[in-house]
Amino acid sequence: MKRTYKVKIPHQYAVTITRLKGGKFSVRYGKQVSSQMEYAEAAREFGECVFHALGCSGFFYLGEHWFDSQNPGQPKKGAT
């Protein structure tokens, strides 16, 4: 039986992790699909996708500038 967990970040694609047969995992984020991963690899991929979605939605600083959650993908005006 497959088990799936989905995280939905406002204004972003959902991030989904699915446990496959044989204890392998698959992670989906938008059109990106990574499959047949071991536990640790899938956990890292899932976390990176969630962090990317959060950064693009304006939930935290992403290294260069703050992102505007009302205008996804665009830096906030006046922010550096």
15-48: per-residue pLDDT in tens? 999 999 999 999 999 999 999 999 999 999 999 9
| Cα separation, 8 vs 24, whole angstroms | 22
pLDDT of residue 64: 57
Give me the residue label for tokens 């989906």: 28
The CA–CA distances, whole Å, from 62 to 65, 68, 70 equal 6, 11, 16
pLDDT at 11 over 50: yes
